[in-house]
Amino acid sequence: MNRSRERFIDNRFLQLALGCYVIFWIALAIRPLDRSDWFLENLLVLATVSVLIPTYRRFQLSNLSYALILVFLAFHAVGAHYTYAKVPAGFWLMDWLHLKRNHYDRVIHFAFGLLLLYPVRELLIRSAGAKRSWAPWLAAAVLWALSSFFEILEAIIAQIVRPDLGTAYLGTQGDVWDAQKDMAAAFIGAIIVALWLMLRQRHTMPWSKAAFV
Amino acid sequence: MSRQNKFIAVLFALCAVFWVLAAIHPFDRQAWLLENILLVLFVLALSLTYRRLQLSNASHIFIALFVILHIIGAHYTYAKMPLGLWAKHFFGFSRNHLDRIAHFGFGFFLAFPVRELLLRFSGIQRAWSFRLPPAIILAISGFFEILESIVAETVAPGKGVEWLGGQGDEWDAQNDMLAALLGAFVMMAAVRLITRKGTQR
């Protein structure tokens, strides 16, 4: 648990991962479908980066955690470029499974739970001192809470920006249970990884140094 | 019977009296039954685990208060609770806000026992014991909203939101969750203030 801290200059893996993300992000920052929506979506990236960079020296997560966060942000960058409702991959999914709407946003909510459980668990074990048996489930609770909090935040923003449009502003496409389905997607994503971590805990696995086991 | 067991027995009896009174002629028997499924599961789980959990008297009082709040709400199907209707007329609200108060109460009353359980069993540090209970309350609240939506679609497909007692609020789920979160925050702030002065247990 007490791995020696690695300076960013020496951390080749993180340099590479961050470099890939930045190039990807710049490519998608060029002519997004809707610039103001792109700005709004990127507030999330700004918030994440402004937490992770200053804390790097004081509290360094494992490289696997950083990689998972970057993968999530890369998925998000795609959504931000296409205002989520118009992501091409979502349209393929729509044709392929005969869905009524572009489900890329649901996929991202699912990925939120799936990809971020591991980093949050690491934070809870190392910073909060949570027991290993408790940590995956506490992490799941934190992600469920963040997912619910995001829905609340969305509702508040929608009511401030366009009170006349109501839920339609959020691109619910007429689905009254949109918020619940988004949350359920994140819940399921988080549960899958929490279960996996719980079952895996029984065995000691020789993991690479990148991972925080 | 130990002193604490006596205390729990008194609280349980008090809740039972309320429950029996509220079970007589509820406004809507079907809604009452539905609301009581959760209550029965909750009380059952608690009575099976209370020996192992060793919650404090304060926690048991808060749990009992929440249970009583829910019993009263279930009797009046929340939307028709007289006090809430009175507030609706008096303040000119568009709806009966008793359900919001119940959600607030959920966060407020249950954040305390949740914190106690975390401190006792999960190994987390004191600083985190104020952050995680609101997260757990919000997580349960979100889970409850999902559960509600599934039940509503099953029982009354098509008119789900109204059937749930949204009373015309399209942000009902979000407002409910916000109420629970605020309740948990208020309780955590209070606990923090009180425990700072006194000696730490």
Whole-number pLDDT of residue B30: 78
Contacts of A130 in chain B (CB under 8 A): 122-124, 128
Distance CA A71, CA A24 (A): 11
Lowest mean pLDDT among B35-39, B127-131, B194-198: B194-198
- Determine phi and psi for A84, rounding to 5 degrees: 60, -50
Task: Give the CA diameter of chain A.
Answer: 56
Contacts of A152 in chain B (CB under 8 A): 174, 177-178, 181
Q: If you search the block for the tokens 């610039």, which residue do you land on?
A: A35
B154-176 pLDDT, tens digit per residue, is 877 766 666 666 666 788 889 99
Whole-number pLDDT of residue B113: 96
Contacts of A149 in chain B (CB under 8 A): 138, 177, 181
| HEC letters along B8-40 | HHHHHHHHHHHHHHHHCCCCCHHHHHHHHHHHH
Cβ–Cβ below 8 Å for B171 and A145: no
**pLDDT for residue A208 is more than 50:** no
Query: How close does chain A come to B115, measured CA to CA in Å?
Result: 12
Identify which has the larger pLDDT, A96 or A46: A46
Q: Which residue on chain B is closest to A165 by alpha carbon?
A: B170
Q: Which of residues 97-126 of B touch A (CB under 8 A)?
A: 121-125
Query: How close does chain A come to B189, measured CA to CA in Å?
Result: 19
Q: What percent of chain B has pLDDT over 70?
A: 91
Contacts of A177 in chain B (CB under 8 A): 149, 153, 160
Half-sphere exposure at residue A174, Cβ-oriented, CA atoms within 13 angstroms: 4
Cβ–Cβ below 8 Å for A176 and B161: yes
Under 8 Å between Cβ of B184 and B134: yes
pTM recorded for the entire structure: 0.88
Burial environment of residue B110 by CB neighbours within 10 A (0 to 12, 13 to 18, 19 or more): buried
Lowest mean pLDDT among A144-148, A183-187, A200-204, B4-8: A200-204
Across A74-83, A85-94, A109-118, B80-89, which has the greatest mean pLDDT?
Answer: A109-118
Contacts of A148 in chain B (CB under 8 A): 138-139, 141-142, 145, 177
Burial environment of residue B34 by CB neighbours within 10 A (0 to 12, 13 to 18, 19 or more): middle
DSSP chain B: --HHHHHHHHHHHHHHHHHHHHHSS-S-HHHHHHHHHHHHHHHHHHHHHHHHH---HHHHHHHHHHHHHHHHHHHTTTTT-HHHHHHHHHHT-SS-THHHHHHHHHHHHHHHHHHHHIIIII---TGGGGTHHHHHHHHHHHHHHHHHHHHHHHHSTT-HHHHTT-TT-TTHHHHHHHHHHHHHHHHHHHHHHHHHHS---
Cβ–Cβ below 8 Å for A129 and B123: yes
**pLDDT for residue A19 is more than 70:** yes
Cβ–Cβ below 8 Å for B145 and A180: yes
* Chain A interface includes B86 (CB < 8 A): no
Q: A72, A75, A154: which is closest to A120 by C-alpha?
A: A72
Under 8 Å between Cβ of A117 and A190: yes
Q: B40, B56, B43, B52: which is closest to B3 by C-alpha?
A: B56
Distance CA A123, CA A128 (A): 7
**pLDDT for residue A123 is more than 60:** yes
Reading the block at residue A206, the tokens are 């020789």
Under 8 Å between Cβ of B134 and A139: no
Q: B121, B7, B1, B4: which is closest to B53 by C-alpha?
A: B121
Query: How close does chain B come to A187, measured CA to CA in Å?
Result: 8
Reading the block at residue B41, the tokens are 């599961």
Contacts of B134 in chain A (CB under 8 A): 145
**pLDDT for residue A2 is more than 50:** no
**Residues 6 or more apart whose Cβ sits within 8 Å of residue A38:** A29, A32, A80, A81, A83
CA distances for B99 relative to A109, A145, B7, B70, B121, angstroms: 28, 20, 29, 9, 32
